[in-house]
Amino acid sequence: MGKSKERIAGYLFVLPALIYMLFFVGYPVIDNIRLSLIDVNVMNFSSGDHPFVGLENYKILQREGILATTLTNTIVYTIGCIIIQFICGLGFAMLFSIPFRMAARLRGLVMISWLLPATITAMVFKYMFSADGIVNELLMQVGLIPDPIKWLVEPVTAMLVLVVANTWIGIPFNMILITSGLTTIPKDLYESAAIDGANTMKRFFKITLPLLKPTILSLLVLGFIYTFRVFDLVLITTHGGPVDATQMMSTYAYKLSFDEFKYSQGAALSNVMLLVLLVVGFVYMRLVNREEKA
Amino acid sequence: MRRFRLWTLAATLVFAIALTGCGNNSSENTSKESDNASATQVEKAAVEKKKLTLWFYFEGKERFDKLKTLTDGFTAQNPNVEIEPVYVPFADLKKRLSVGLAAEDLPDLVIIDNPDHAAYAAMGLFADITDEVSTWTDKDQFYEGPWSSTIYDGKQYGVPLGSNNLALYYNEQMLADAGVTPPQTWDELREAAKKLTKNGVTGLGISAPANEEGTFQFLPWLLSAGANYDQLGSPEGIKAFSVLADLIKDGSMSKEIINWTQSDVLKQFSTGKVAMMVNGPWQLPELASTVPDLKFGLTFVPKDKAFSSVLGGENLGVVKGDHVKEATAFVKYVVSPEVIKPFLQSFGYFPPRKDVAADPYWTENPQLKVFAENMEYAMPRGPHPKWPEISNVISQAMSKAFTLHSTPEEAAKDAQSKIDAILK
Amino acid sequence: MSIAVSSIHRSRRLRRNAIPLLSILLVAVFLFPLYWLAVTSFKTESEIFRTPPTLFPHQFDVKSYTEQLTSSNYNIMQGFRNSALIAFGALAISTLLAIPASYGLARFSIAGKHLMLLLFLVTQMLPASLILTPLFILYKQFGLLHAPFWATILANATAGIPFTIVTLRTYFITLPKELEESAKIDGCNIFTTFWRIMLPIALPGVVVAMVFSFLFAWGDLIYGMTFISKEHMRPITAGIYNFLGFQRTSWNHSMAFGMVSILPVVFIFIFVQKFIVSGLTNGAVKG
C-alpha cells in the first residue's frame, strides 16, 4: 500500500519533466533519424520526392573519410578538454575551500569566464593567439620561443588553442560543482583522520576523492557532453581549419546541412554524434548503478 | 534562517528583473513615438495595405537607412504596399532560409550573394518571374555576368542588385621605397613581393579562408591562368595554386591568410603590415575614413595569360508566396536607373547595368576606374546549383596548398576529383 | 615537541600568507584573457595592430563604446531586458519541472528509472543547430512562432532541465535517508517532506542548478536568433552577434560589446554569488 503510493508519487515527480523533454527534444531527434534515412539535397528539396536510401548517407560519410576525421578530432578535443579542466577545476575548488579571507571573492572572479558568451571568448582567443598576438609576444619575452608561432595555421597548435579556450570556459563549471560536492563531505571525517595522523595528501586521496566520486562521475559525463557538442567556439576560432584539422562532428554536420544543403548527410552525422553520446551515457549509467547499489 | 536566505535570493532576482524592467519604459516611449510617425502615413494610405518583408545582411544603421529609402520610395509610388527590411546576419542567412523553406515561413524578398542564387532557385525558394521580365525592355541593359547569375535552368529568378570585383591595392610609399613599380604579371609580382617583404611587412595579403570568401579571392588567379572551377587539376589550375604557394614559400605572403577575412586583409593593409592586397571597392570608404593619409594606388590583379576578374555582388530574389506580383514590381523599381544610381554610389557598388555604368561617376574616378574596367569581363561564379559545395572544395584545396601541407599539384588534383564527383 | 609546534606555526603562517598570494596569482593568470578583452576594447585600431602589442592602451579610447550607441539601431537596454525575460522564463520552467524530477529519480523506485535518466542525458546532447529545423516546424504547427519569447523560453528550458536533473539528483542521493524517515514520523506526507524538509536542505545544490539554468538561457544565441526576428525583441547575445557581423572584423568594437554584454551578468552574479558561497560553505548538511 505504502509502496505503491510512493511509486505513484515518484512518477508524479518525474513525469512532467520527462514529457516536456520528449516533446521538445525527442521529436526533433526522431525527425533527424528519419531525415538521415532518406535523401534530401539541394536538387530534390522542393520536389517532395525523397527516396529512402537506408544507411547510404552514413556510408558516404564513412567512404569520404569525414566520419574518421571528425570523430577523431572531436574525441581528441573532448578528452583533452575534460581532463585539463577537471584538474584545474579541482585545483581551484580545493584551493578556495581553504578558509582565507579572499577565497569567496576569488572564486566569484573565476566564474566570470563562464559568463562570457562563447562568441566573445572565441574572438578573444583568436586575437590572443594570432601570429602578432600577445601570447607569442609574452612567450618570446620570457625566452620560451625564438620566433612567433603561427598557432592557428598549424593543425596541432590550432587544436591546442581550442582546447585551451574551451578549458578556460569549462574550469568554473568544474570548480563550482566540485565545491558543491565538497560540502557534502562531513567535516568530522577530516577531523578524525587528522587525529589518526593522516597528512593532507592522504586525506585527499582517502577521503576527498572517494567521497567526491558521484560528483566527479556526473561532472566528467556532463563535461564530455558539453564539450562534445561544442560549436560556436570552433566555428569562430578556427572554422574547422586548417584543412579540417579542427573540424568537429557538430561543425561539419552544420556545414553539410546549412552550407552545402546536404540535409540528409548532415542529419546522419549528427546521429552518429548521438550514438557516441548514448554509449557514454550508458557507461555512466552503469557506473552510477554500481555506485548506488554499493 | 535558511528559508530567509531563499527569500532574499528570490527578492534579489525580482529586484534584478525590476531593474532591467526600468530600461524598458524608456525604450517603449521611443518606439511609441516612431509608431505615431508611421501612423500618420497609414492614415494617408487609407486603403488596405499589403505588408512584405525583405531579408538582407548588410550591417550598420547607415546601410539600413539606405535600404529603407528604397522601400519607402516604393511605398510612396504604391501606397498599398509596405515593405519592411529585416536584417539577418550573413553567417545566418543560409540557415534561416533553409529552416524557413522547410517550415514554409519565409520573407517575400531576399538580397542574396550572387553565387548562392542558383542553389536557392533549385531548392524552390524563388518565384519564376520569366514572364514578367520577358517584356521588360530594361533587361537588355544588364551585363551578361550579373544577369546570368539570376537564371537557373533557363528561368529567371531575380534581378542583379549591385556588383563588384577585386583589384590589387598597393601602398605607394612602400613601393617607392623598395623601388618597384606596381606588378602586372605573376613574375613581376613575385619579384616585387620579395623586395617589399622586410621589417615585419609582407609583400602581399589576400583572403583565403575555407569558405566562399576564399574562393572568391582565388578565382581571378585561376581564370587568369586559363582554367575554371571545373579544371582545377589541369596544368593551368595547378599553376594558379603554385603562384600563391610560391609567395608563401618565399615568405612574401603570410600563411595566416587562411584565417583572414577580406576585412582582416584590409586591416593589415591600412596598418602597414602588408604592402599590397587584393580587395574590393567596398573597402574604399573604410580606407578613406580610417587612414585618410595613406597613399595607395589600384591596379588589376596581376595576370598570367590575361587580366581576369570575378563577379561579386548581390541579387534581389523574389520569393514564392502570396506577394510575387508586388515583390516583382519592387524589384523592377529598385533597379530602374534613377533609383539604383544613388543607391549603388552609397553602397560602393558597381552598376550591373551598362547605361548606369556609363555615368562619369564610375568611368572618371581614378580609384573606381580599375573596378569599372574589370566589370566588362567579370565572370560569375558558377552559376551552378551546387556552387556552395564546389566552392568548399576549392577553398579547402587552397588551405591545403597555402599551409604547404600538400603540393599545389596534390591539392589541385584532389580537388578536381571531388569536383568531378559533384558535377557528374 | 618544539619542532612540531614550529611546524604548526609555520603552516599557519603559510596559510595566512602564501595561500592567498598564490590564489591571487593564479586567478590573475586565469583572468588574463578578460584583462586583454578589456584593454583591447579601449585601444585605437592602429594600436591594436602594433607589433609588439602594448600591455596597456597608450591612448585611452572610448570610441568603441560610444559608437555602439550611435551606429547601431539596436537598443542595448532593451536587449538586456529581453535576455532577462528569456533567461528567467527558462529558469522558472526548468526549476519547476526539473527539481521535483531529480528528487523523484533520486529517491523513488520507478520502473525504467535508468532509461529515463539516460533519456535526460541524451536529450541535451545534440547541438541546438541540428534540431533546429524540426523544432521550427513543430513550433509552427503549434502557432508558437507568433509568440517568439515563449518559443525561445521553451527551447532554452531544454538545456536547463536535463542539467538540473543530472546534477541535483546526485545531490539528493548524498543526503541521508534518515531525514525523510524522521519527517514521516513527524506526520509529513511525501510532498510536504519534499517541500518542507528536503528542498531547504538541498538549497545549495538547487541554487547552483538554478544559476546554471539561468546562464544557459542567458548565453543562448541560436534559439534567440532563429525564433525572434523582430529586432526590438532580440536578446543581448543576438544583438552582439548582429552588431559584429561576420564580414568585418573590428577587434576593439567586438571587445567593447563583449564588455558591455557581461557587465550586468557579472553584477547579478556578484550579488547572487554570496548566497551560493554561503550556502556552500556553511555546510547545509551536517550529519
The predicted-structure confidence for A147-175, as pLDDT tens digits, reads as follows: 889 999 999 999 999 999 999 999 988 99
The residue of chain C with its CA nearest to that of B199 is: C51
* One domain for residues B410 and B268: yes
Kindly determine whether residue C200 and residue B6, on different chains, have CB atoms separated by under 8 Å: yes
Q: Which residue has the higher pLDDT, C9 or B392?
A: B392
The predicted structure's pLDDT at residue A165: 96
Task: Test C37 with A120 for CB contact under 8 angstroms.
Answer: yes
Residue B359 DSSP code: S
Q: A91 pLDDT band (50/70/90 cuts)? A: very high
What is the crossing angle of helices B212-225 and B235-250, to 10°?
110
Q: Tell me how far apart the alpha carbons of residues A239 and A247 are, in angstroms, rounded to a whole number.
A: 7
Nearest-CA distance from B334 to chain C in Å?
A: 24
Amino acid of residue A162: L
DSSP state string for B198-230: BTTBEEEE----SSHHHHHHHHHHHHHHT--TT
Among residues B311, B45, B283, which one has the least CA distance to residue B161?
A: B311
Per DSSP, chain C holds a count of helices (H) and strands (E) of 16, 0
Band of the pLDDT at B129, cuts 50, 70, 90? very high
8 Å CB contact between C103 and C194: yes
pLDDT per position as a tens digit, A25-49: 888 889 899 999 999 888 888 777 8
Q: Which 3 state secondary structure label does DSSP give B53?
A: strand
- pLDDT at residue B28 is higher than 60: no
CA–CA gap between residue C94 and residue C164 (Å, rounded): 8
Checking DSSP bridges between strand B167-171 and strand B155-156, what pairing results, if any? unpaired
User: Is B407 in the same domain as B282?
Assistant: yes
pLDDT band at C276 (very low <50, low <70, confident <90, very high): low
Instruction: Say if residue C68's pLDDT is above 90.
Output: no
Q: Supply the pLDDT for residue C93.
A: 96
For chain C positions 64-93, those within 8 Å of chain B (CB to CB) are 71-73, 75, 77-78, 80-81, 84, 88
CB < 8 Å to B152, chain A: none
> Is the pLDDT reported for residue C273 higher than 90?
no
**What are A183-195's pLDDT values in tens digits?**
778 878 888 888 8
Distance from CA of B254 to the nearest CA of C (A): 15
Lowest mean pLDDT among B74-83, B172-181, C70-79: C70-79
Interchain proximity C31–A110, CB inside 8 Å = yes
C284 touches chain B (CB under 8 A): yes
B234, pLDDT greater than 60: yes
* Same-domain status, B362 and B301: no
Pairing mode, strands B167-171 and B50-56: unpaired
Distance from CA of A258 to the nearest CA of B (A): 5
Neighbours of B16 (CB within 10 A): 17
- Residue length, chain A? 294
Nearest chain B residue to A240 by CA distance is B210
Helix (H, G, I), strand (E, B) or coil at A245: coil
Q: Looking at the DSSP assignment, which residues form a beta bridge with residue B82? A: B51
Closest CA of chain C from A265, distance in Å: 12
Least confident of A116-125, A173-182, B17-26, B297-306: B17-26
CA–CA distance, B259 with C112 (Å, rounded to integer): 49
B419 pLDDT band (50/70/90 cuts)?
Answer: very high
Contacts of C68 (CB under 8 A, 6+ apart): C76, C243, C253, C256, C257, C260
Q: Which residue of chain A has the CA closest to C278?
A: A104
Higher pLDDT, C9 or B194: B194
Assigned CATH for A65-293 = 1.10.3720.10
Report residue B93: phi and psi, to 5°: -60, -50
CATH code, B221: 3.40.190.10
Query: What pLDDT is stored for residue B20 in this prediction?
Result: 38
Average pLDDT of chain B to the nearest whole number: 87
Position B38 pLDDT exceeds 60: no
Rounded to whole angstroms, how far apart are CA atoms A281 and C204? 26
Closest C-chain CA to A182: C280
Q: Best-predicted range by mean pLDDT among A196-210, B341-355, C124-138?
A: B341-355
Q: Residue C234: its pLDDT value, please?
A: 86
The secondary structure element, H or E, covering residue C70 is helix C63-71
Q: CB contact, 8 Å: C216 with chain A?
A: no
* % residues pLDDT > 70 (chain B): 89
C276 alpha carbon, distance to own chain's centre? 13
| Within-domain flag for B285 | yes
Which residues are paired to B277 by β-bridges?
B169, B205
Instruction: Annotate chain A with three-state secondary structure.
Output: CHHHHHHHHHHHHHHHHHHHHHHHHHHHHHHHHHHHHECCCCCCCCCCCCCECCCHHHHHHHHCCHHHHHHHHHHHHHHHHHHHHHHHHHHHHHHHHCCCCCHHHHHHHHHHHHHCCHHHHHHHHHHHCCCCCHHHHHHHHHCCCCCCCCCCCCHHHHHHHHHHHHHHHHHHHHHHHHHHHHCCCCHHHHHHHHHCCCCHHHHHHHHHHHHHHHHHHHHHHHHHHHHHCCCHHHHHHCCCCCCCCCCCHHHHHHHHHHHCCCHHHHHHHHHHHHHHHHHHHHHHHHHHHHHHHC
Q: Inspect the interface and report whether the beta carbons of C266 and A281 lie closer than 8 Å.
A: no
Task: Answer whether C277 touches A (CB < 8 Å).
Answer: yes
Q: Is pLDDT at B35 greater than 50 in this prediction?
A: no
Interface check B12 vs C, CB under 8 A: yes
Q: How far apart are the first and last CA of chain A?
A: 27
Is B13's pLDDT higher than 60?
Answer: no
Residue of higher predicted confidence among A97 and B54: B54
Contacts of B341 (CB under 8 A, 6+ apart): B351, B356, B359, B361
- Please enumerate in sequence order all residues whose Cβ is within 8 A of that of C242, keeping only pairs 6 or more positions apart, or say none: B59, B87, B89, C72, C74, C231, C234
Q: What is the mean pLDDT of residues B250-259?
A: 93
Q: How many domains does chain B have?
A: 2
What percent of chain B is modeled with pLDDT above 90?
Answer: 67
Residue B22: pLDDT over 60: no
C-beta separation of B109 from B333 below 8 A: no
Find the helix or strand (DSSP H, E) in which C165 lies: helix C148-174
Say what percent of chain A tops pLDDT 70: 98
Which helix (H) or strand (E) segment is B277 a member of? strand B274-279
CA of residue C216 relative to chain centroid, distance: 5
- Min CA distance, C49 vs chain B (Å)? 7
CA angle B7, B12, B16 (to 5 degrees): 150
Helix or strand holding residue A132 (H, E): none
Please state which of the ranges A269-283, B116-130, C3-17 shows the lowest mean pLDDT. C3-17
Sorted by where each begins, the domain ranges of chain C are 2-64, 72-281
- C touches which chains (3+ CB pairs under 8 A)? A, B
Rounded distance between C-alpha atoms, residue C159 and residue C91, angstroms: 10
Same domain, B215 and B304: yes
Q: Where are the domains of chain A?
A: 65-293
Which residues in chain B are closer than 8 Å to C247, comparing Cβ atoms? Answer: 59, 90, 261-263
| Out of B258, B385, B389, closest to residue A241 by CB | B258
Given a cut of 90, is residue B80 above it in pLDDT? yes
Residue indicated by cell numbers 581576369: B308
Considering only CB atoms, C27 lies closest to which of A26, A109, A177, namely A109
Element (H, E) at B56: strand B50-56
Rounded to the nearest 5 degrees, what angle is found at the Cα of B343, between the Cα atoms of B339 and B348? 150
**One-letter amino acid for residue C101 of the chain:** A
**pLDDT band, very low/low/confident/very high, at C275 (cuts 50, 70, 90):** low
The answer to whether residue B19 scores a pLDDT higher than 70 is no
Based on the fold, state whether residues B252 and B208 are members of the same structural domain: yes
In DSSP terms, B85 is beta-bridged to B54
Do residue B244 and residue B391 come from a single domain? Answer: yes
Note whether residue B22 is domain-resident: no
Specify the pairing of strand B312-318 against strand B158-164: antiparallel
Among the ranges given (A5-9, A77-81, A143-147, B96-100), the one the predictor scored with the smallest mean pLDDT: A5-9
Q: For chain B, how big is the Rg over CA atoms in Å?
A: 25
| pTM (predicted TM-score) | 0.84
Cα–Cα nearest to A165, from C125, C37, C257: C37
pLDDT range class, residue C10, cuts 50, 70, 90: low
Answer for the pair B229, B423: CB distance below 8 angstroms, yes or no.
no
Average pLDDT over residues A86-95: 93
Q: Are strands B274-279 and B167-171 parallel, antiparallel or unpaired?
A: antiparallel
Show residues of chain C in contact with A220, CB under 8 Å.
none
Mean pLDDT computed over B155-164: 94
Are C170 and A214 within 8 A, CB to CB?
Answer: yes
CA distances from B137 to B128, B157, B193, B336 (A): 18, 17, 48, 11
Contact B357, B351 (CB under 8 A): yes
Residues 233 to 272 of C: which have CB under 8 A from any A CB? Answer: 237, 240-241, 244, 251, 254-255, 257-258, 261-262, 265-266, 269-270
Q: Is the pLDDT of residue C24 over 70?
A: yes
Rounded to an integer, the average pLDDT of A47-53 is 84
Q: Are residues B231 and B150 both part of a single domain?
A: no
Report the distance separating Cα C74 and Cα A183, nearest Å.
Answer: 44
Q: Does A102 contact C24 at a Cβ distance shorter than 8 Å?
A: yes
Q: How many other C-beta atoms are found inside a 10 Å radius of the C-beta of residue B254?
A: 25
Nearest chain C residue (CA) to B10: C272
Indicate the pLDDT class of residue C287, thresholds 50, 70 and 90: very low
The answer to whether A183 and C204 are in contact (CB under 8 A) is yes
Say if CB B238 and CB B409 are below 8 A apart: yes
pLDDT confidence of A2, banded at 50, 70, 90?
low
The answer on B126 and B180 residing in a single domain is no
Q: Is the pLDDT of residue B25 over 50?
A: no
Q: Which residues on chain B are in Cβ contact (under 8 Å) with A46?
A: 101, 123-124
Separation in Å, CA of A158 to nearest CA in chain B? 11
Cell 561576420 sits at which residue? C246
Q: Is C72-281 CATH 1.10.3720.10?
A: yes
Mean pLDDT of chain A: 87
Interchain CB distance below 8 Å, B385 and A42: yes
The per-residue pLDDT for B92 is 82
B91 located within any domain: yes
Give the Cα separation of A189 and A175 in Å (integer): 22
| Residue C72 pLDDT class (50, 70, 90 cuts) | low
Q: Within this chain, do residues B299 and B400 fall inside the same structural domain, yes or no?
A: yes
Query: For position C284, what pLDDT does the model report?
Result: 34
pLDDT at C278: 53
pLDDT at B49 over 90: no
What are the grid coordinates assigned to A101, written together? 579571507
CA distance A156 to chain B (A): 13
Of B23, B60, B99, the CB nearest to C81: B23
Task: Say whether both B240 and B156 belong to one domain.
Answer: no
β-bridge mates for residue B113, sequence order:
B314
Q: For B10-24, B285-299, B345-359, C153-167, which range has the lowest pLDDT when averaged over its residues?
A: B10-24
Q: Is B41 exposed, middle or buried (0-12, 13-18, 19+ CB in 10 A)?
A: middle
Q: Which residues of B touch C278 (CB under 8 A)?
A: 5
CA distance C154 to C135: 11
Tens of pLDDT, residues B177-205: 999 999 999 999 999 999 999 988 999 99
Q: What is the pLDDT of residue C138?
A: 87
- Which residues lie across from C269 on neighbouring strands? none
**3-state percent breakdown (helix, strand, coil) of chain A, nearest 5:** 75, 0, 25
User: Closest Cα to residue B38, out of B64, B62, B4, B68?
Assistant: B68
Q: Which domain holds residue B71?
A: 44-163+312-377
Find the residue in B nearest to C83 (Cα). B20
Instruction: Using CB atoms, list chains with 3+ pairs below 8 Å to chain A.
Output: B, C
Q: Are residues B250 and B180 in the same domain?
A: yes
3-class DSSP state of B351: coil
| pLDDT above 90: residue B424 | no
Residue contact B258–A263, C-beta within 8 A: no
Kindly state whether residue B30 falls inside one of the protein's structural domains: no
Question: Are B334 and B193 in a shared domain?
Answer: no
> What integer is the mean pLDDT of C162-172?
85
- Is B289 or B401 the better-scoring residue by pLDDT? B401
Task: State the smallest CA–CA distance between residue B29 and chain C in angstroms.
Answer: 12
Alpha carbons B372 and A175: distance in angstroms, whole number: 60
pLDDT top residue among A225 and A245: A245
Instruction: Judge whether C28 is closer than 8 Å to chain A, CB to CB.
Output: no
Neighbours of C144 (CB within 10 A): 18
Q: CA of A86 to nearest chain C CA: how many angstroms apart? A: 15
Using CA coordinates, name the residue in chain A closest to C116. Answer: A18
Cβ contact, residue pair A124, C237, below 8 Å: no
